[in-house]
């Protein structure tokens, strides 16, 4: 009998259904469901895991958080403790009978580590079992048949690389998290988290916000001209884009009454815009974030689609389709859907020449493999559509666009206008997630005289660099070699859960984040810089290739942590004061609009209800209501109307975090909402009327 071990239940079921050669039946033991059938002529049982079935932990003797044990914590030997007991029981049930064991977990370092956890369980029960590895990038019947017909050996080096990462991350996280939490006296659920990848990532976010805080805006002027001609109207701008010198601004103000302009130059050219590259993990997450998904949520959804066999493996660095991937087959599959058939028919008319980016020898780019067999939830459907349209776009024709540049002489000053229009949309037709706005200019030629309707002056201020977005942070982390394609979304999720950053699209750090990073920068640039993490990732690669052992790499990290800890202990008093100061700031919503005192959360002694109240009570009675259930955190984001910190509210039964201002003055009044609805209804009626007239 052969025992096939999959990473999760959904994947196990998909493998069983796609490879079954006889009647497929299932049984359950506890909460674990498994399947029986014949595969490649052999009696087979397919059992699932729940990801890792063993957890890396410190011995129980280190359970209590004490400063006296921190140095011992660095040298402690870690334990691999069974956690998924139901799954282990199922493996044991069949291990004794199995002469052949096939590991069918995800093919990456993490999947290999999970596979070797299962191998250890089988070996304890059956010393004679033979072990094999199936390697696949999607759960389609075709690819699974190929993978199970060409089995490989499990790769211990790959597994050791993942385990080294787990052990180092636990050691750094446990030692430094305990130190900073003990110093700040933040224990229990309020502990302050520190991590090998998490801390340099947070440093980048904090540094960007520090740059914004230190930014000094400058006043500048811009001038635009509304131009009219018999062939149409358009807007031109002074070629002096941002004018900081008021003398130059005054020289343009003198021509504001000019009524005509001469066309100095009108140039047209056609450019070809190549289709986008195939999706690697970072590219996919950035595009998903651009259409409203949080990075962790997008990763969760695409992983679920993969487990059901609808898309390929979502953790990949490659942007090149391998020659073994049957692109025509996927195009044919998508062509069965009315959403894509129009585009697939056009793609089939010519040989396929997909776009290419960087090549990596792991998994192919993320692509669709099968149309969903059931009605997907709205978010899942949108992610599948994003992946399907991106795939079709990579096989589509380039778009052709006409660019037009017009230079004007306006009273001796040069103004210009830039226009574009699509001649052949090409790939833009299918990839509707790429924004393109036409700006069509009238047909003008050199020497034409046009009228000036007005010359307008715009006064503005320079803006600080924007906060990192979730999608943008994925790219920054990749470029800085922070984390892996598998762990980056989880790092952002952890920073949000620990309240270091706002759970919004813009990554805004809290005061506590500033305090933690400021402390570690003083003590160890290694911990806050991406360089250390990048160097450790290089060592993980050396484990994969067999050049270094897991033990060597972990021991090197122990020495580094000891050095950092010694420096931290020497400055404990200074760190404690800084952390306490940040903690006080963390609980302030802002200034009271009536008295100027600090606004804080207050829990009534009589009713036990919570609300925001002024520290100047009883002189000041200003207050704001708060939700009475769920978890509330003060967001680093401030309200654009009143300047008070918004709250991040997480309902007990909900997966979502809601961010809003609790100031009643900022909420739109019912009358305003009614007026808006009335105006919207009138606009809709007018739109329908215009549409009918055109017809």
For this structure, is 80 an active site residue? Answer: no
Is the pLDDT at 673 greater than 50, yes or no?
no
Q: 652: Cβ–Cβ under 8 A, 6 or more apart, which residues?
A: 629, 630, 631
CATH value at residue 443: 2.70.20.10
Distance CA 4, CA 34 (A): 10
Q: Is residue 55 part of a domain?
A: no
Tens digits of residue pLDDT in 86-100: 999 999 999 999 999
Selected catalytic residue, list 220, 313, 468, 589: 313
Contacts for 622-629 with beta carbons within 8 Å, 24 or more apart? 622/592, 622/593, 622/594, 622/595, 624/589, 624/599, 624/662, 624/663, 624/664, 625/662, 625/664, 626/601, 626/662
Q: Identify which of 195, 139, 387 has the alpha carbon closest to the alpha carbon of residue 285.
A: 387
Do 40 and 146 belong together in one domain? yes
Distance CA 195, CA 222 (A): 46
Do 437 and 558 belong together in one domain? no
- Answer positive or negative: Cα dihedral of 71, 170, 134, 22: positive
Is the pLDDT at 521 greater than 60, yes or no?
yes
DSSP tally for the chain: helices H, then strands E = 21, 21
Q: How confident is the model at residue 689 (pLDDT cuts 50, 70, 90)?
A: very low
The answer to whether 308 and 369 are in contact (CB under 8 A) is no
Distance CA 86, CA 100 (A): 22
H-helix or E-strand containing 417? strand 413-424
The reported pLDDT for the residue numbered 695 is 35
The answer to whether 110 and 490 are in contact (CB under 8 A) is no
Do 126 and 148 belong together in one domain? yes
Distance CA 332, CA 414 (A): 54
Do 236 and 109 belong together in one domain? no
CA angle centred on 264, ends 263 and 269, rounded to 5°: 90
φ, ψ dihedrals at 19, nearest 5°: -110, -5
The reported pLDDT for the residue numbered 678 is 55
Beta bridge partners of 632: 649
Q: Is residue 63 part of a domain?
A: no
User: How many residues are listed for the chain in this entry?
Assistant: 695
Do 224 and 252 belong together in one domain? yes
Do 572 and 558 belong together in one domain? yes
Mean pLDDT along residues 601-627: 89
Tens digits of residue pLDDT in 146-195: 999 999 999 999 999 999 999 999 999 999 999 999 988 888 877 888 89
Cis peptide before 566 (omega within 30 of 0): no
Is the pLDDT at 84 greater than 70, yes or no?
yes
Do 418 and 538 belong together in one domain? no
Do 320 and 447 belong together in one domain? no
Q: Is residue 78 part of a domain?
A: no
Q: Identify which of 145, 147, 135, 117 has the alpha carbon closest to the alpha carbon of residue 50.
A: 117
Which domain covers residue 169, as residue numbers? 163-214+466-583
- Answer positive or negative: Cα dihedral of 262, 264, 266, 271: negative
Q: How confident is the model at residue 693 (pLDDT cuts 50, 70, 90)?
A: very low
Distance CA 414, CA 403 (A): 19
The answer to whether 114 and 53 are in contact (CB under 8 A) is yes
Q: Is residue 148 part of a domain?
A: yes
Mean pLDDT along residues 668-673: 52
Tens digits of residue pLDDT in 414-449: 999 999 999 999 999 999 999 888 899 999 999 999
Q: Is residue 565 part of a domain?
A: yes
Q: How confident is the model at residue 655 (pLDDT cuts 50, 70, 90)?
A: low
> Which residue shows structure tokens 């007990």?
652
Q: Is residue 523 part of a domain?
A: yes
The reported pLDDT for the residue numbered 687 is 40
């Amino acid at each position: 009998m052969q025992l096939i071990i999959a990473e999760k239940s959904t994947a196990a079921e998909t493998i069983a259904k796609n490879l079954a050669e006889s009647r497929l039946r299932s049984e359950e033991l506890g909460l674990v469901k498994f399947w029986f059938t014949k595969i490649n002529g052999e009696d087979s049982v397919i059992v699932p895991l729940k990801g890792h079935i063993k957890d890396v932990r410190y011995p129980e003797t280190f359970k209590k958080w004490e400063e006296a044990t921190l140095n011992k914590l660095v040298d402690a030997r870690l334990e691999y403790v069974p956690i998924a007991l139901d799954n282990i029981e199922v493996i044991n049930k069949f291990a004794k009978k199995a002469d052949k064991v096939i590991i069918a977990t995800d093919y990456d370092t993490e999947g290999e580590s999970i596979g070797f956890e299962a191998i250890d369980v089988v070996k304890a029960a059956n010393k004679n079992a033979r072990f094999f590895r199936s390697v696949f990038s999607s759960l389609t019947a075709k690819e699974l048949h190929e993978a199970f017909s060409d089995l490989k050996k499990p790769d211990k080096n790959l597994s050791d690389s993942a385990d080294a990462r787990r052990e180092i991350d636990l050691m750094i996280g446990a030692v430094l998290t305990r130190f900073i939490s003990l110093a700040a006296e933040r224990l229990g659920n309020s502990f302050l988290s520190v991590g090998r990848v998490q801390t340099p990532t947070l440093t980048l976010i904090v540094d960007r916000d520090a740059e914004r805080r230190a930014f000094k805006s400058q006043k500048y002027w811009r001038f635009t001209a509304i131009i009219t001609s018999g062939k149409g109207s358009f807007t031109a701008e002074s070629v002096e884009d941002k004018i900081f010198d008021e003398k130059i601004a005054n020289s343009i103000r003198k021509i504001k009454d000019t009524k005509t302009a001469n066309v100095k130059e009108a140039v047209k050219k056609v450019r070809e815009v190549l289709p986008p590259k195939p999706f690697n993990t970072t590219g996919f997450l950035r595009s998903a974030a651009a259409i409203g998904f949080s990075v962790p949520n997008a990763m969760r959804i695409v992983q679920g689609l993969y487990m059901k066999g609808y898309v390929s493996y979502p953790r990949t660095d490659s942007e090149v389709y391998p020659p073994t991937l049957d692109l025509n087959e996927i195009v044919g599959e998508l062509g069965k859907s009315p959403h894509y058939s129009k585009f697939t028919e056009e793609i089939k008319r010519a040989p396929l020449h997909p776009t290419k980016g960087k090549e990596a020898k792991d998994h192919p780019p993320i692509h669709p493999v099968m149309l969903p067999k059931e009605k997907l939830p709205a978010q899942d459907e949108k992610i599948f559509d994003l992946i399907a349209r991106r795939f079709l776009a990579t096989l589509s024709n380039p778009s052709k666009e006409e660019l037009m540049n017009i230079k004007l002489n306006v009273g001796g000053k040069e103004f210009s206008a830039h226009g574009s229009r699509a001649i052949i949309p090409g790939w833009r037709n299918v990839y509707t997630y790429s924004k393109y706005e036409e700006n069509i200019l009238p047909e003008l030629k050199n020497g034409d005289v046009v009228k000036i309707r007005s010359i307008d002056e715009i006064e503005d201020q320079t803006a600080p660099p924007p906060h990192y977005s979730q999608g943008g942070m994925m790219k920054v982390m990749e470029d800085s070699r922070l984390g892996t394609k598998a762990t980056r979304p989880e790092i952002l999720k952890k920073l949000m859960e620990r309240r270091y950053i706002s759970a919004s699209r813009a990554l805004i750090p809290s005061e506590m984040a500033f305090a933690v990073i400021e402390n570690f920068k003083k003590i160890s640039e290694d911990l806050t810089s991406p360089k250390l993490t990048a160097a450790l990732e290089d060592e993980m690669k050396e484990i994969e290739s067999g050049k270094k052992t897991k033990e060597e790499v972990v021991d090197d990290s122990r020495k580094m942590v000891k050095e950092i800890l010694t420096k931290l202990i020497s400055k404990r008093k200074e760190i404690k004061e800084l952390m306490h100061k940040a903690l006080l700031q963390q609980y302030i919503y802002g200034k009271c609009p009536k008295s100027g005192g600090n606004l804080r959360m207050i829990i009534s002694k009589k009713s036990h209800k919570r609300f925001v109240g002024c520290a100047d009570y009883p002189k000041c009675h200003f207050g704001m209501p708060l939700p009475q259930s769920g978890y509330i955190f003060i967001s680093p984001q401030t309200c654009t109307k009143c300047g008070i910190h918004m709250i991040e509210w997480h309902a007990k039964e909900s997966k979502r975090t809601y961010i809003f201002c609790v100031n009643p003055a900022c909420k739109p009044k019912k009358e305003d909402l009614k007026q808006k609805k009335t105006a919207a209804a009138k606009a809709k009626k007018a739109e329908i009327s215009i549409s009918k007239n055109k017809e």
